[in-house]
Amino acid sequence: MAGAVAPHAGQPVVTMGAPLGAGRVVVIAVHGRGAAPGNILDLAPAIGNAHVTFLAPAAAGGTWYPKGFMAPIGENEPGITSAISVVHALIDDAVAHGVPAERIVLMGFSQGACLSVTAAQRRPARYGGVLVYSGGLIGPPGTQWSTGGDFGGTPIFFGCSDVDGHIPADRVRESATHLEQMGAAVMLRLYPGMGHTINDDEVVFGRELLASLAAQ
């Protein structure tokens, strides 16, 4: 029964880079549908540095929730709630190891990006940043997300194709607007005709963000 309620509980977390508590920055890196921690950690050498710890949780069965991110919430439960609990627990663990929220970055691609930004939206704080690579807030059309809490200027980057078959550009824009209303410093870049991928410009933004945080 517990597994049905929290399907992602107890799954492994892959660590890369500086040991947790020894680095200046922690990145919680969330993989996409049908992938694994190693896939999202392919980004680590390109955007990280010696002062960054990467924590990459694994989804049970390789998928955080079964349907598209704009399906009715109930059709993606208990996956969404369990997955967000995993992300929040990793934030708490990093803080317990002496890394303040201001130096914790949430990062994800595709399904992992949707999960990362929704986890942040449900627990707003002044984070080091949120890197939303091809993703948007979870919820069906017409969702009214809570505006409670304040991001306090957290830099949140949205990068996505303008014709992504999985992530509608309108939802990316809607998500960006909502988080701005919650006090985030949002950067939105829609790339004309790009596939469902991460491009060099997005990698550069991530690398510069982490370098800036590590230098503080």
In sequence order, the 6+-apart residues with CB closer than 8 A to the CB of 128 are 25, 101, 102, 103, 104, 105, 154, 155, 209, 213
Q: What is the mean pLDDT of residues 7-32?
A: 97
- Give phi and psi for 29, each to the nearest 5: -105, 120
Quickly state the pLDDT bin for 216 (edges 50, 70, 90). Answer: confident
- Helices first, then strands: H and E counts in the chain: 7, 7
pLDDT more than 90, % of the chain: 96
pLDDT tens column, 58-90 = 999 999 999 999 999 999 999 999 999 999 999
Q: Which two tokens stand for residue 101?
A: 């929220």
Q: Using DSSP bridges, classify how beta strands 155-161 and 185-191 pair: parallel, antiparallel or unpaired.
A: parallel
Beta carbons within 10 angstroms of residue 72's beta carbon:
11
Quickly state the pLDDT bin for 3 (edges 50, 70, 90). Answer: low
Active site residues: 110, 164, 196
- Does the CA dihedral 127-104-44-172 come out positive or negative? negative
Distance between CA atoms of residues 199 and 201, nearest Å: 6
User: Which amino acid appears at position 186 of this protein?
Assistant: V
Quickly state the pLDDT bin for 1 (edges 50, 70, 90). Answer: very low
Q: In what order do the strands lie in the sheet with 129-133?
A: 13-17, 52-57, 25-30, 104-109, 129-133, 155-161, 185-191
Going by C-alpha positions, the residue among 145, 159, 140 that lies closest to residue 209 is: 159
Distance between CA atoms of residues 152 and 170, nearest Å: 25
Residue 200 has pLDDT above 50, yes or no: yes
Distance between CA atoms of residues 181 and 18, nearest Å: 34
Angle at CA of residue 192, ends 186 and 194, nearest 5°: 95
